[in-house]
Amino acid sequence: MAIQVASQNLLTSVPHRSTFIQNPSPVKTNYPKVFKMALSQDEIFDKVQEALVEALGVDDDEVTEEATLVGDLGAESIDFLDIVFKLEKAFGIQIPREELSPEDILTDSNLVKDGIVTSQGIAELKSRMPWANLDAFEQNPRVQDFGNLLTVGDLVGYVGSKTA
Amino acid sequence: MRWFWIDRFTDFVSGQCAKGLKNVSMDEEVVDGYWPDYPTLPSTLIIEGMAQLGGILVAEHHQFEKQVVLAKVAKASFLRPARNGDQLHYTVTLDSVQDLGATVNAVSHCDGELQAEVDLMFAFLEQGRFTDGPLFGPGDLRTMLRMMNFFSVAVDSEGKAVGKYPALCDEIS
């Protein structure tokens, strides 16, 4: 009887996101097909929201346009890899690393002085990432803050520029 | 360090899927000692076994030249515990491969029933960023694969037995 109870506990005490699967979905073996389709802003937002909810374990209503990935949604570096995977799969696009993380600009000694991005560096960032809103960063362009500025809205803009 | 959480490969198709099995034995310290008086293989080690299968699947896809590490457990559901005497059959399927990593879907069956379903994400380590040099000691990975019956079952996508991997052969003769 004790063992029966123990096994019951195992099944009912799993975290809330685990579900009792009666009909497991078929396992996919295809690589993502590369295709482009024109999507509306809302459609893009919905898919980005879904990817972020799955990758970061946050609720739908936390994923707003203005929410920052790192500060508000708690994304860590490994989560960015997961987010890139999910976006590539959801939209059939390729996301080269330097498009979302302009590390080469942020570590260029000609474009960064004493941890602050120069105006030339800002111009480079803007041309590399035209879909991102860099106004807030421009006020105090510290390299260490850059990772925290990316918002959900920026991601939606990025996907929009790749699927247009 | 001994860290084998599958006993044997039963199937391996390069770039597609890997299957293996794990026998749960009372003799294993962790089975007997994890939960007092209730021998069970902890779910975390089921994930580890699937990660070993999946990691080999992903690494082999790149001829064992990339260093593959488990990065994230995206989803894990366990429908029943693994008890002493059970034989778990793992099936790991390659889901997608990108420049920086890969994802796999894994399921575990016991007595013909679904026992667990796990989605895993692997990352490829860049040399010099997180590590310098190989993850395994000389010859260790090849020995592990041989002990697990890999070379006897592994075939490429056309069904031909896999050949030698230069990246595995540069240690002991």
pLDDT band at A5 (very low <50, low <70, confident <90, very high): very low
pTM score, whole prediction: 0.77
The Cβ-side half-sphere exposure at B83, using a 13 Å CA radius, reads: 10
In a domain, B1, yes or no: no
Asked whether the beta carbons of residue B103 and residue A3 sit closer than 8 angstroms, the reply is no
Does A31 contact B at CB distance below 8 Å? yes
pLDDT higher than threshold 50 for residue A4:
no
**For the residues A52-61, what does the mean pLDDT come to?**
91
The 10s digit of each residue's pLDDT in B122-131 is 999 887 777 7
**For the residues A136-154, what does the mean pLDDT come to?**
86
pLDDT higher than threshold 80 for residue B67:
yes
Asked whether the beta carbons of residue B95 and residue A10 sit closer than 8 angstroms, the reply is no
From chain A, the residues in CB contact with B38 under 8 A are 3, 6
Q: Are strands B101-110 and B40-41 parallel, antiparallel or unpaired?
A: unpaired
Give the pLDDT confidence score for residue B56 in this predicted structure. Answer: 96
Give the pLDDT confidence score for residue A17 in this predicted structure. Answer: 46
Measure Cα distances from B167 to A20, A157, B8, B15, B58 in Å. 42, 42, 22, 17, 14
Interface test with B, best of A18, A27, A79, A89 (most B CBs within 10 A): A27
Residue bearing tokens 């330097």 = A98
Give the pLDDT confidence score for residue B64 in this predicted structure. Answer: 92
Residues spanned by the domain of B52: 8-168
Q: Which residue type, as a one-letter code, is found at position A6?
A: A
Give the pLDDT confidence score for residue A18 in this predicted structure. Answer: 44
Give the pLDDT confidence score for residue A9 in this predicted structure. Answer: 47
Does A23 contact B at CB distance below 8 Å? no
Q: Are strands B154-155 and B8-13 parallel, antiparallel or unpaired?
A: parallel
Boundaries of every domain in chain A? 38-163
pLDDT band at A32 (very low <50, low <70, confident <90, very high): low
Please, are residues B61 and B104 in contact by the beta-carbon 8 Å criterion?
Answer: no
pLDDT band at B31 (very low <50, low <70, confident <90, very high): very high
Give the pLDDT confidence score for residue B172 in this predicted structure. Answer: 46
Classify the complex by whether its ipTM is higher than 0.90, answering yes or no.
Answer: no
More confident residue, A164 or B163: B163
Give the pLDDT confidence score for residue A133 in this predicted structure. Answer: 83
In a domain, B57, yes or no: yes
Q: What is the CATH number of the domain that holds B17?
A: 3.10.129.10
Tell whether the torsion through CA atoms of A71, A76, A77 and A79 is positive or negative: negative
**Residues above pLDDT 70, as percent of chain B:** 97
Q: Which of A39-48, A143-152, B68-77 has the lowest average pLDDT?
A: A143-152
Q: Which of A 99-158 lie inside 8 A of B, CB atoms? A: none
The beta-carbon neighbor of B105 closest among A3, A14, A27 is: A27
At B87, give phi and psi (nearest 5°): -120, 115
**Residues above pLDDT 90, as percent of chain B:** 75
Give the pLDDT confidence score for residue A139 in this predicted structure. Answer: 87
Tell whether the torsion through CA atoms of B18, B19, B24 and B28 is positive or negative: negative
The 10s digit of each residue's pLDDT in B90-128 is 999 999 898 888 999 999 999 999 999 999 999 998 877
**For the residues A68-95, what does the mean pLDDT come to?**
88
Give the pLDDT confidence score for residue A35 in this predicted structure. Answer: 53
pLDDT higher than threshold 90 for residue A53:
yes
pLDDT higher than threshold 80 for residue B173:
no
Q: Please tell me the distance from the alpha carbon of residue A29 to that of residue A27, in angstroms, as a whole number.
A: 7
**For the residues A29-52, what does the mean pLDDT come to?**
75
In a domain, B124, yes or no: yes
In a domain, B83, yes or no: yes
Asked whether the beta carbons of residue B99 and residue A97 sit closer than 8 angstroms, the reply is yes
pLDDT higher than threshold 90 for residue B85:
yes
Maximum Cα–Cα distance across chain A? 73
Give buried/exposed letters for A62-71 (b at 16+ CB in 10 A, else e).
ebeeeebbbe
**For the residues A83-110, what does the mean pLDDT come to?**
85
Give the pLDDT confidence score for residue B119 in this predicted structure. Answer: 95
Q: Helix %, strand %, coil % for chain A, to 5?
A: 50, 5, 45
In a domain, B173, yes or no: no
Give the pLDDT confidence score for residue A25 in this predicted structure. Answer: 52
Q: Which residue of B has its CA nearest to A51?
A: B74
Does A1 contact B at CB distance below 8 Å? no
DSSP state of B161: B
How many domains does chain B contain in total?
1
Please, are residues B74 and B121 in contact by the beta-carbon 8 Å criterion?
Answer: yes
- Give CATH for domain A38-163: 1.10.1200.10
Q: Please tell me the distance from the alpha carbon of residue A77 to that of residue A161, in angstroms, as a whole number.
A: 23
Please, are residues B92 and B11 in contact by the beta-carbon 8 Å criterion?
Answer: no
pLDDT band at A2 (very low <50, low <70, confident <90, very high): very low
Q: Copy the structure tokens of residue B92.
A: 């790991």
Q: Please tell me the distance from the alpha carbon of residue B86 to that of residue B8, in angstroms, as a whole number.
A: 15
